[in-house]
Structures are given as C-alpha cells and as structure tokens.
Amino acid sequence: MIVLGIETSCDETAAALLEDDKTVLSSVVASQIPVHTDFGGVVPELASREHVDNICFVIERCLKEAGVSWKEIGAIAVTRGPGLVGALLVGMAYAKGLAYALKIPFVGVNHLEGHICSIFLDHPNAELPALSLVVSGGHTSLFYLKKVTEYEDISKTRDDAAGEALDKLAKHLGLGYPGGPVIDRLAPDGDPHSVPFAIPKISDHSLDFSFSGIKTAALRHLHEHHISPLEPHTSKAPREVPQPILDLLASYQSSIVDQLLNRLERARKGREVGSIQISGGVSCNSELRRRSTDFFKERGLPVYYPRPELTTDNATMIAAAAAARIRSGAADPWDLTADPNLALIGHPQPQEFTDPQPLG
C-alpha cells in the first residue's frame, strides 16, 4: 500500500509517499525559513498563510516525482498535533478533503511520534526497550519505548526547547535564523570551558529539562563583559567572529548537550534499556552526536539517529508513524480535528473505515 504523508505543524509544508512501510517513493519539503528570518523566529500567522499557498504544489510535486497517480494512494497520514493550530488546520483540512474525495482512510498522527518513528526508517532493528529523546526547536521530550506505539512519558522541557534556546542566543548575537546550525558550525573554534554554565536542578527532582536559565546567564555574560552583537554585514566565518563570542557559543552549546546527556543517564538508571534514540532537528548537532555516541558506548549502549533529511519536520516520518495502524485497517473519524497540545499517550482504539457520506 502507498501512504501519503502530510506535515504542516510549524514552518515546513511537507509531503511524502511511503510504500509498504519502508520504501520512500518521494519526499518534498517547502521551507519557510526566508519568510521568518527577519523576525528571528516563526510567526504563526505567516506560517499558516504559507501552508495555504504551498500545500497543493507540494503534494502535486510529490506525486509527480514518484510517478504515482491519485488512484494509487491507499491512505493518508497527517500531523494532528502538537504544533501551531493554524498550521495544523491547513494540513488536516487538506488531508480530510482529499481522503473524502478519494474515498480512502486518513489517520491523524502525533508529530512527536513521527520523530520517534523516523529512527526505525533507517534502523528497523534498533534495540528495544529504548530511551527516545526528541529534541528540536519546538520540543525537548524524553520517552521510554517498550515497543513502538507504547510510550512512557518521562520528561519534557518546562520552558524553552533546546533548539529554541540556540536560536534565541543566535538571534541576540546577530547570527541569523535558524541559529542552531550556525552555532554548530562556529562552536568548534571556541573554548567550551571558558564560560561556566550549571546544569539546572528541578526543585521536585524530576527529569524535566529547562533551558531558560542558561539563556539568561549567557545574556548576563554578554552584558558583564561588554560583548556586542555582530554587525549585520559580518559573515558567519569563524575568522570574522570575535573570540569571546566563539567561546560563549562553544560553552553554551556544550552546556545544552551536558543537560541532555545528564537527563538520559539519569533516566537509564532503574530501567531496562537496549538503545538510546535521538531524533528531531537538534539531533543533527555534531557535538550532540559525537558526545552521546561516545558517552553511551562506554556504557555498552548503541545510539541511533535519523539521517539528516529525516531530522527536521518531514512527511516521511508521519507516514511511517501511521503505517502500522493503517495496515491493521484502522482509520480516524471524519470529525477528527487538530490539537495543538496533543499528548503522546499511545494510540486510540482502532476504528473501522467507513465510506464518506454525501455532503448536505
């Protein structure tokens, strides 16, 4: 069966065709980075408008690249949440309308489950149970996977997500948006021990993440040491960035990785763990990949990541997350709607697909 995946949770309009749960026939992503760059972050209303403008073109191009006709699509998987409500509604409305017209089932997918399932597209035999860390610009959450579709929510961020913390410092320093990749490129030329950042301690001793404190500490460091942001015309080459900024970036990035590894190691204690799985946009960060691989190798655990094109928001992972439910004959009701705060608590009871009734 060929499944059409649709993803519109934030600032990428994406479509993908997945055959037999594993073969990617095509994947198209329309990024909105140029639209949001001047604002240093995603503007929800602009994101929704871009999805409306892009979704038809993206899906039609996806079919064209795969050489697939509308009649060959067996089901549709679409991101239901969490995310920006306006953006989610664009994808949900299109998916339901298309499924209604083609008389095929559609399934609403949790965006975080999509990231988790992106691991298994490249590593179908990744050991379970696993600790699965989803880390991106909008989410930093840790789950315990006894099996795929069975998730235990261990912890999440209480304020900024890790990627958001990187973006905010980069914006303040004039490094552009998104800031994570720029910091990743510049940090190796700085001293990661030059600026001390403490790993935050949560008062109730939970494993939740918190990144707002180090962001505040970084801004205070800039003020106390009279470090000015870069001029707009400055290139992002390390040789043109002052050493104090490079040192701050290296220390800041290192402290974020420190916290992620700290929470993973603490969560490992007392649990049976066969592997560590890290997904989401920040999972492309080179320091996170290097240090987590080395850290858990010493503890006898493999660490898995998706390939780079599956780390950012994409529709391939959405189709993959829905594949098992679709294969079992499950479908969602026609009145299902978007949920910007959708929790990952496992799958609802499967419903049998029913042909759409005439409108009116």
Q: What is the CATH number of the domain that holds 60?
A: 3.30.420.40
Whether 359 maps to a domain, the answer reads no
* Both structure tokens of 183: 């910091």
Say whether pLDDT at 302 is over 50. Answer: yes
Same domain, 147 and 196: yes
Whether 306 maps to a domain, the answer reads no
Whether 122 maps to a domain, the answer reads no
- Determine the pLDDT at residue 62: 97
Same domain, 177 and 144: yes
In this predicted model, what pLDDT tens digit does every residue of 197-233 receive, in sequence order? 988 888 788 999 999 999 999 999 999 999 988 887 6
Alpha-carbon gap, residue 244 to 218, rounded angstroms: 12
Pairing of strands 303-304, 330-331: unpaired
Whether 67 maps to a domain, the answer reads yes
- Determine the pLDDT at residue 11: 87
Same domain, 297 and 317: no
Q: What's the average model confidence in pLDDT over 279-307?
A: 96
Output the pTM of the full model.
Answer: 0.89
Please tell me the total number of residues recorded for the chain in this structure.
Answer: 360
Q: How many CB atoms lie within 10 A of CB 27?
A: 21
Whether 358 maps to a domain, the answer reads no
Average pLDDT value over all residues in the chain: 91
For residue 345, give its domain range: 2-115+313-352
Same domain, 156 and 294: yes
In this predicted model, what pLDDT tens digit does every residue of 257-281 receive, in sequence order? 999 999 999 999 999 999 999 999 9
Same domain, 223 and 95: no
Same domain, 240 and 324: no
Angle of CA points 136, 138, 209, to nearest 5°:
75
Query: Among all chains, which residue has been given the structure tokens 């594949």?
Result: 323
Same domain, 21 and 89: yes
Q: Mapped to the 3 state alphabet, what secondary structure does the chain carry?
A: CEEEEEECCCCEEEEEEEECCCEEEEEEEEECHHHHHHHCCCCHHHHHHHHHHHHHHHHHHHHHHHCCCHHHEEEEEEEEECCCHHHHHHHHHHHHHHHHHHCCCEEEEEHHHHHHHHHHHHCCCCCCCEEEEEECCCCEEEEEEEECCEEEEEEEECCCCHHHHHHHHHHHHCCCCCHHHHHHHHHHHCCCCCCCCCCCCCCCCCCCECCHHHHHHHHHHHHHCCCCCCCCCCCCCHHHCCHHHHHHHHHHHHHHHHHHHHHHHHHHCCCCCCEEEEECHHHHCHHHHHHHHHHHHCCCCCEECCCHHHCCCCCHHHHHHHHHHHHCCEECCCCCCCCCCCCCCCCCCCEECCCCCCCC
Whether 308 maps to a domain, the answer reads no
Alpha-carbon gap, residue 141 to 209, rounded angstroms: 8
Same domain, 193 and 216: yes
From 301, 326, 342, give the residue that closes a domain: 301
Whether 148 maps to a domain, the answer reads yes
Q: How confident is the model at residue 359 (pLDDT cuts 50, 70, 90)?
A: very low
Same domain, 244 and 324: no
* Both structure tokens of 330: 């499950």
Same domain, 138 and 65: no
From 301, 329, 344, give the residue that closes a domain: 301
Whether 179 maps to a domain, the answer reads yes
**Domains identified in the chain, total number:** 2
Say whether pLDDT at 346 is over 80. Answer: no
Same domain, 342 and 252: no
Same domain, 297 and 329: no
